[in-house]
């Protein structure tokens, strides 16, 4: 089945973080075997795509060396792609994208939309992979600083404009129009309110004319929404019911894909939308 054929619900992308330091599951799947077993579990739960990443993008994270990133992701991609999974590689590096596609990945998910390492666009074009361009302004160490949280004229128009310029760069590098996906980048240089506005108005991002992927799973804006009366945010593992509601909204507003840690919970929520034909 084509990746973009309408199936009555957003596709579910299960997250396999092969990192020591991702915010909600860092260190759990650092060994190849653990990561592969986790990926197989996500497939059994109904994941349509597995997103395999070797660099944590959480605020304040330091970057791994390219060799480290390759050693983390390539063996995991090879095994899961050989097992029949549709694999996406979560990387900002051309070298990693290239090795990942050789190992069987069909999607290059670049949280920087080609800004961190512009050569990734040509590599993706040459390999024929799908390119996910996420809205991004700076690496994890700086992304939540004040200057990167400013959206003169409003977050939705500015994110749309900045995504359009990433589309132009992808097209100029030779990535075909039907292999581009856009992502508003929830939590990346965004305040909680800016994230909510993007969720509420995701249809405007879709109106740019490309399939839309959204990653809300376990992010801090959900924890803030569900904070205790004293302001303590709800912990990452206890944000799933709110995330299910976000997934229903995304489905109703036409998102192509939701990037999630808990595939079963996402599929359950989306089964309701599918059942009542609520996508349109």
- The rounded distance, in Å, linking the Cα atoms of 113 and 255 is 18
Nearest to 132 by CA among 189, 53, 78, 227: 53
Q: How far is the CB of 230 from ligand PMM (least distance, A)?
A: 26
Q: Which of residues 58-117 bind ligand PMM (CB under 6 A)?
A: 58, 90, 109, 111
The verdict on 130 binding ligand PMM (CB under 6 A) reads no
Q: Any catalytic annotation for residue 259?
A: yes
Site string for ligand PMM, 155-194 (x = CB under 6 A): ----------------------------x-xx--------
Instruction: Among 16, 57, 80, 223, indicate the residue that binds ligand PMM (CB under 6 A).
Output: 57
Q: Which residue is nearest to ligand PMM (CB)?
A: 215
From 137, 239, 259, 267, the catalytic residue: 259
Stretch that binds ligand PMM, among 14-22, 36-44, 100-108, 143-151 (CB under 6 A): 14-22
Among the options 218, 219, 239, 253, which is catalytic?
Answer: 219
Task: Give the shortest CB-132-to-ligand PMM separation in angstroms.
Answer: 5
219 catalytic, yes or no? yes
132 binds ligand PMM (CB under 6 A): yes
Dist CA 150 CA 190 (whole Å): 9
The partner residues of 130 in beta bridges, in order of sequence, read 107
Spatial separation of the C-alpha atoms in residues 43 and 54, rounded to whole Å: 19
Helix (H, G, I), strand (E, B) or coil at 109: strand
By CB under 6 A, what part of segment 15-44 binds ligand PMM? Answer: 15, 17, 22-24
- Residue 184 Cα to chain centre, angstroms: 9
Rg of the chain taking only CA atoms, in angstroms: 17
Considering the rule CB under 6 A, would residue 259 count as an interface residue with ligand PMM? yes
d(CA 174, CA 101): 17
183/262 with CB nearer ligand PMM: 183
By beta-carbon proximity to ligand PMM, the closer residue of 194 and 275 is 194
Cβ neighbours of residue 272 under 8 Å, at least 6 residues apart? 248, 278
What 3-state class would DSSP assign to 140?
coil
Q: Closest Cα to residue 184, out of 172, 197, 173? A: 197
Closest distance between ligand PMM and the C-beta of residue 90, in Å?
5
191 by Cβ neighbours in 10 Å (0-12 / 13-18 / 19+) ranks as middle
What amino acid positions are annotated as catalytic residues? Answer: 219, 259
Binding site for ligand PMM (CB under 6 A): 15, 17, 22-24, 57-58, 90, 109, 111, 132, 134, 183, 185-186, 213, 215, 259
């Amino acid at each position: 089945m084509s990746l973009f054929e309408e199936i009555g619900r957003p596709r579910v992308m299960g997250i396999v973080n092969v990192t020591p330091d991702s915010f909600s599951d860092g260190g759990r799947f650092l060994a190849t075997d653990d990561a592969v077993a986790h990926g197989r579990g996500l497939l059994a739960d109904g994941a349509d795509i597995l997103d395999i990443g070797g660099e944590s993008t959480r605020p304040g994270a330091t970057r791994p060396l390219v060799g480290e990133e390759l050693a983390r992701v390539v063996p995991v991609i090879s095994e899961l792609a050989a097992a029949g999974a549709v694999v996406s590689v979560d990387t900002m590096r051309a070298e990693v994208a290239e090795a990942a596609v050789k190992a069987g990945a069909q999607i290059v998910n670049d949280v920087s939309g080609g800004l961190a390492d512009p050569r990734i666009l040509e590599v993706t074009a040459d390999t024929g992979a799908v390119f996910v361009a996420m809205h991004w302004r700076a690496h994890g160490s700086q992304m939540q600083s004040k200057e990167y949280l400013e959206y003169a004229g409003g977050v939705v128009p500015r994110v749309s404009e900045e995504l359009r310029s990433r589309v132009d760069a992808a097209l100029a590098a030779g990535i075909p129009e039907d292999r581009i996906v856009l992502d508003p980048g929830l939590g990346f240089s965004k305040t909680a309110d800016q994230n909510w506005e993007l969720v509420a108005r995701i249809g405007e991002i879709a109106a740019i004319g490309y399939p839309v992927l959204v990653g809300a799973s376990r992010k801090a804006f959900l924890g803030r929404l569900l904070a205790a009366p004293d302001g303590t945010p709800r912990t990452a593992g206890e944000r799933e019911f709110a995330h299910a509601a976000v997934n229903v909204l995304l489905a109703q507003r036409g998102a192509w894909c939701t990037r999630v840690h808990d595939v079963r919970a996402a599929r359950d929520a989306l089964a309701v939308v599918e059942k009542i034909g609520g996508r349109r």
